[in-house]
Structures are given as C-alpha cells and as structure tokens.
Chains A and B, each alone.
Chain A
Amino acid sequence: MKLEIKNISKQYDKNKFGLQNFSMTIENGILGLLGPNGAGKSTLMKIIATISNPTSGQILLDGIDITKKPNQIRKILGYLPQDFGVYPNLNAYEFLEYIAAMKGIGGTNLKDRISQLLEGVNLTDAAKKPIGTYSGGMKQRIGIAQVLLNDPKVLIFDEPTVGLDPEERVRFRNLISDLANDCIVILSSHIVSDIETIADKVAIMQNGKLISQGYQQDIIDAVKNKVFELEIDKNALNEFKTNHLILNTVRKKENILVRFVGEVRPVNATLCNATLEDAYLFHTKK
C-alpha cells in the first residue's frame, strides 16, 4: 500500500498557510510526525483522513486521488483525532456499535469484535456504563478501540498517548508495532521518545513545511559528533546561548549542565551520543 502526498497546500487566508507544497510518500510501516505546535501535523492528518479538504494538491492511495474520492480511503481508515469527544448518554458498547455502523461494519461478528476490543483496552468492567462517567484516559482508550473496528489499512494517530498512564503507553506502543506489519501507520506526538521507540521513519515539520524526513538513524546522523555537554556557571548561560544552539539544560548546585550542538568541540566539553530529540531540536531551532 502506498500513499503519495503531492504538493498539498492548505491556505486559510492570504498570508496564513496550514500546509505549503507538502510532498512525501508513505509506505507500510510506522511514520512518526514531529513538529512544534502549529507545524501543520494535525492539518496534514485531517486532510489524509478526508475531514479537511486541501486548497491544492493531490493525495494518491495506490493511485486513486482520495481528495476527489474520499470514500476509497474511508473504508480502510482508522483515525484517532487529537481532540475528540464521545456521546455521554451512550455506553462504551453502544458508542462502538454506532461508530462501527458509521464505518459500514456490521454482521454477526460485530458484537464479539467490540467485546474483544473493549477487553483489549481494559474497559470490559465499565462497558455498560455511560461514557459521560469515564475519566480522560478511559475515553482515550475508547478512541483507540474505535480505530480498530474495521480492520483498517491506513491508521492515523494524532497525539494518541495523551491521557494514558505509563503502562498504557507501553501497551499502545506494542499495539502500533503489531499493526505496522501490513498497514500504513502515521503517528504524531509531542513526546519524542514515543516516536523514537516505535517509528521506522520520521518526518519533521515546521510552519507547514517538511524540513526533514527519512529513517530515524538518517535523521539522527545530521547531528552525529555534534552534540556536547558542558558544565558552565549559571551567570554565563545567557552569553553561551548567543553562541551555541542549546538543546537542554540541567540545573546543578552551582553550575548548569548544558547540552548543545556545535561544529567544534569546546574545551572541557563531553561528546554525547546524539538522540532523535537532539536531531529534532536541531532541525526546529536552527
């Protein structure tokens, strides 16, 4: 399965773009989308999920333009939006039945499938209670369950781990890894470690544009042998900032431990192993 995004733009007014001439090709596996707030990640995901129309450009799913024929992807789509709600008067079981019907899923197996999904997200005990009584994390798990109602082949997760506790986050990562075998999974997150753990490829976005993409290691290689740590006096931090691209700071008793990117290793600085977070900050801050 191949998803080709060709010169997609989303323009809100004369000077405001959500996306600008965005192009990339996505194949089976997990693509992690990284970018600061307003980078255009959610806009891109909404356009792929067919709930927002691009101002220009094409998105081809195995050669079919889904901006013109949205129902082609909707049959095989699983989408978990960043902000979503539920109908508080329905219970989890009824809500999933409703979403299944909207997705065009039914038949005698549906009840079993919903029960299995609810069990898998650990909501069996609460399944018959109105969703209006659920906590944020429980609602997020309902959202994850609805994604899998229809055997999706294209999965879009926009900030999926928000509201999940650490154990649930691990279980979610395992689920994504299982799904990625024969599906396209697009995942955005502010938590770089989530992407680092599970994504095969990474795309970094800023101001509606794609600024870097590739396998994780290729992205990290951009800052290989350029990430250092140095302990400096607290008062010297401002001057240090003007001369270096700082990635992180840790306050110590008297000094500050600074992690930064530089072409040349300063005296007393320690060379560090570069991480995806270093590469991401390097790309978005430079």
Chain B
Amino acid sequence: MGLYKNIIKADYLQRTRSYIFLITLLGSVYVAYSFIPSYDSHYITVRVNNFVGKNNLAWIGHVTAIMASAFLWLIGFYLVNNSIKRDRETGVGQIIATTSVSNFEYLLAKALSNFCVLLTITFVIILIALGIFIFRGESGNFNFIQFLMPYLLVTVPSVFLVSVLAIVFEIIFGNKTNLLNVAFFCLFGVIIAKTNVGNYSGLVYIDPLGIKYLANQMVEAVNTISPSSTNDFSAGYLFSKNQKKLYFDFQGSDWSVFFILSRIIWIGIGFCLLFIASRMFNRFDSKTIVLSKKKNFHLIVSEIKTEAKEIQLSKLSKATPQFGIFPIVKAEFLMLIRKGPEWFWLINFGGMIALVLLPINKAYQIVLPVLWFLQINRWADLSTKEKFFGTSNFIYSSFKPLHRLLTSQILAGFLLAIFLAFPILIRELIAGNLISTLAIIVGSLFLVSFAIFSGIISGGKRLFEILFFAVTYAIINAVPFVDYFGGFHQDFQYLILLIVVLLLVLIASFLLRNREIKNQ
C-alpha cells in the first residue's frame, strides 16, 4: 500500500502544482457556476422539453453531476493523459522499470493518481454547487442525499473510467499523440451521442458516463406532471431571451439496484482494461517499440568509421549575413508537416476532398473544424517546442529571436491551416461569399495564434489540446459562442469582432513572449 501511496502522491503533487491544473480548475468552477442559471437568466442548461427544474438541492446535484461527468470526460482526459509519457521522457520510467513494481501495480497507481486529480476537481464542483444553493437563497427541500448520490453513482465512477482510459490510450497509442487525441474524440462523440432516454432501456445502463440514467429520471419526473410531453432531454447552453421556461419541482432519482450494479460493473471494467493494458505495457523498453515498427525511426544511426576529418577554419566558405525569415518559416513548416505518421496525410487529403464534395454548409461548419482538429498535435507545441526539445539556448541567443521566430511560427502554422482549408476557401470565393472567405482566413490565423498564445501562457501544449478539443466538440454541436472561423455567423460585424480578438491574441502573444525572454 505504501508503494501505491508514494507513486500516487508524487504524481498527484506534480500534476496539481502545474498551471494547467489551475487553469482547468478555474474553468471547472466557471462552468459549474454557469451551469445553474438563476431564474432571470437568458439561457438554460439542462431541460426536458420546456421544463426546467426549480433550483432545489436535488436538481442542483443532478445538473452539476451531469455537467461534471461530461466535462471531466471531455477535459479531464486531456489533463491527465500524459503520465506514462512524462515518465518516459524524464527517464523516471527506466528507474521504475528496474524496481519490483509489477506492470499492473504501476498502471493502477498511475490511474489512481489521475483519479485523485479529477476527484479534486469534482470536489471543488460539489462545493461550488452547494455554495450556489446556499448563497442564492434557493428554496426547496434540503435533500442532501439526492444532491450527493448523483456524484457518488454517476460522476465518481465516470471519472474513474476516464482516468483508466487515459492510461489505456497511452499504452495503445504510445507516442502517436495525434491518433490518441483523435481516437478519444471519436469515442467521446459515440458515447455522448443522443439516444432516446424516454423509456427505460438497456442503453441507460451501458452508458459509461451514467448521464443517461439521470436524464431518464428527469424525463420520468416531467412525464408525471405532463404526460403528453415528449422525451426531449438536452444538456448544454441554450441562449434565448424568448425561451419559454416551465419550472417543476424535481425531487430526485430512484436509485435502482440495476443502476448501482451497472456502475459497479463499469468500475470493474476499468480494472479489466487496466489489466489488459498491463499485458501490453512494454515497461519503457524502447527496443520493443523499435522492433514493432516497420520504419526504425528511433534506431540509433550507426556510424561508419572512416578516416576522421577536422574542421578547416581557413577553408570554410564565407558566411553572408541575411536576416530574412523565409528559411525559418520553411523549417517550421517542415516540422509541422512531418509530425505524426505519414499515412495520416491520407486522412487529411480525404478531409480536403470532403470539403470539395459535401454541401458547402456542411463542409464549412463541420468538416473544416474537424479537419483542423485532426492537426491538433501539429499546432499544439508550435511555441513551446524550443523548451521541450531543449533548443531554446540556441534560439534565444540568436539575432532578434522574438520577432523573427514568433512571426515565422505564426506564418508556418497559418500556411498549414490555409492549405487544409483551401478547397472550401475556393468554393466560398466562387460562390461569392466574401465574408466567409475572409472569415476562414481570419479563423486560420486565429487558430494558430491561439495555439501559440496557449503555449506561451501555460508553458506546454496541454492547455491548447484541452481547449481545442472542447471548442471543436462545441462547434460540431452548433454552439455559436465558440465560432472562431465564422461558420455560423456570416456577417461583417462578426468578422470585425473576430479580427479584433485575433489582434488581441497576437499582441498578447508577442508581449508575453517578450517578457518571458527578458526574464530568463
């Protein structure tokens, strides 16, 4: 037990002392707070048809537990999915590999550490929910059991599962982080997909997030007061001043034995997945990775010992000063396109063909953001790779590093974004949609600038990965608030707004990087 405790403690402290944890925690607090709108708000979050629960303790507990479960799957996965990678990169993994700890014990400790990190966020969300109930002076039954049970039976098992999945995905995908991100995005999309929750069906038990059971209970409650009501449940921000809201007094859920059993089974599935992953885990043996690859990329080049030569200083060709940035842009662009497996470009080209063939609105609003999302790994470390790869000492001792390098990085990232968007850009231009054409260009630049900005403020790529994942998911669900490329707002005013935000992000990036360089 001491072994687990020490690994979990070290991992937990390392994670919770990072900026990215703090930012995620603050984001969670904001989402939890905003997910319980007051009665006079112009938006609603969880609803069944037009019915919204009165803000009693049971409703607040259910709504925030749903939010926490989905949010921590969506965001939490990206927060914790690097624990094995970090051990590999820091070399700690090789030390662990020489100890008596078994693969399963190691992976379990890592999963439990992930779990503790996400539980910390869950705990804060619970406090926020309670605080809202107390300080907003909401009336209703003080049913603490119905407040807490959704967390215990829905959020906690759900968070455990995503903690395990983060480990399992790391084992399966290894260094292929691009594939890992995309695979989880697809998995999450499938799990969260809407199903008919109106009737008790097996689906509510096979939902790893546990949300569908709560949704079903809410629908049941509405059906008792409005039998003619349809079973239209939705969770998410719905903005409308004229939204018709009908309040009902939600008393809580009926916690069936089957549901409790299903949650226990999901936890058991988590342990099984960990066990299977432990059989696949190579215990940081890099040779195992190399041999399993057709292309021996990581194999050390063996040197052919020929007659050794020396640098003849007097015979070196003359170095000519040239301060243009084109070679830097070229190298940055090369690094962007070489990331990830080569066959991944087939998917990218498939996406570009879809941009040509699909109806223009679908191509613009869905295919384009997804195609950009697939490049998440290419853009995520655009401004942090000097630190990650240890080249910053070369770079920052060179001539005017701030303006030349940052500009080159933005241009290289923008070139990639615009290259991928090229088919839809041409289509919009041919269709005479000048606003949309400009919005795609601005969106491309914004995307890259935001990746750079996120990297600078967080010092790593995780913040961008988390936010880009959340934004893309929201866009696919047609949430207009996060429309960074004008897909849902094809008007001039919105374009101006995008340009203003873009300029602010760019200015902030330059100022922050300048301060960073000066304060080294």
The answer, among B389, B395, B397, B519, for a CB contact under 8 Å with A88, is B389
**Is B320 in contact with chain A by the CB < 8 A criterion?**
yes
**Is A94 in contact with chain B by the CB < 8 A criterion?**
yes
Cα–Cα, bound, A104→B403 (Å): 13
Given A102-B394, A126-B303, A179 and B298 touching (CB < 8 A)?
A: no
**Which residues of chain A have C-beta atoms less than 8 A from B317's C-beta?**
109-110, 112-113, 116
Are A71 and B399 within 8 A (Cβ)?
yes
**Is B339 in contact with chain A by the CB < 8 A criterion?**
yes
* Interface residues in A, total, Cβ within 8 A: 65
Given A79-B397, A112-B317, A138-B303, A100 and B385 touching (CB < 8 A)?
A: no
Closest to B340 in A: A89
**Which residues of chain B have C-beta atoms less than 8 A from A104's C-beta?**
321-323, 398-400
**Is A151 in contact with chain B by the CB < 8 A criterion?**
yes
The answer, among A89, A105, A122, for a CB contact under 8 Å with B309, is A122
Cα–Cα, bound, A103→B394 (Å): 9
What is the distance, in angstroms, from B174's C-beta to the closest C-beta of chain A?
A: 15
**Which residues of chain A have C-beta atoms less than 8 A from B300's C-beta?**
133-135
Are A97 and B327 within 8 A (Cβ)?
yes
Q: Mark A107-143, 1 if CB is under 8 A from B, else 0.
A: 1111011001101111001100110111100100000
Interface SS, B side: loop
Closest to A179 in B: B313
**Is B518 in contact with chain A by the CB < 8 A criterion?**
yes
**Which residues of chain A have C-beta atoms less than 8 A from B391's C-beta?**
84-87
**Which residues of chain A have C-beta atoms less than 8 A from B394's C-beta?**
79, 81, 84, 99, 102, 146
Are B322 and A132 within 8 A (Cβ)?
no
The answer, among A51, A129, A167, for a CB contact under 8 Å with B301, is A129
Cα–Cα, bound, A100→B391 (Å): 13
**Is A225 in contact with chain B by the CB < 8 A criterion?**
no
**Which residues of chain A have C-beta atoms less than 8 A from B439's C-beta?**
none
**Is B319 in contact with chain A by the CB < 8 A criterion?**
yes
**Which residues of chain A have C-beta atoms less than 8 A from B310's C-beta?**
120, 171, 174-175
- 20 A-B contact pairs sorted by A residue (CB < 8 Å): A53-B520, A79-B393, A83-B390, A87-B389, A89-B338, A97-B327, A102-B328, A102-B401, A102-B404, A103-B398, A107-B322, A108-B320, A110-B320, A113-B317, A116-B315, A120-B309, A125-B306, A133-B301, A167-B308, A175-B313
Beyond known contacts A90-B335, A110-B319, A119-B309: 5 more, CB 8 A cutoff: A52-B520, A90-B334, A94-B331, A99-B398, A113-B319
A interface list, Cβ under 8 A from B: 46, 49-53, 71, 74-75, 77, 79, 81, 83-90, 94, 97-110, 112-113, 116-117, 119-122, 125-126, 129-130, 132-135, 138, 145-146, 148-151, 167-168, 171, 174-175, 178-179
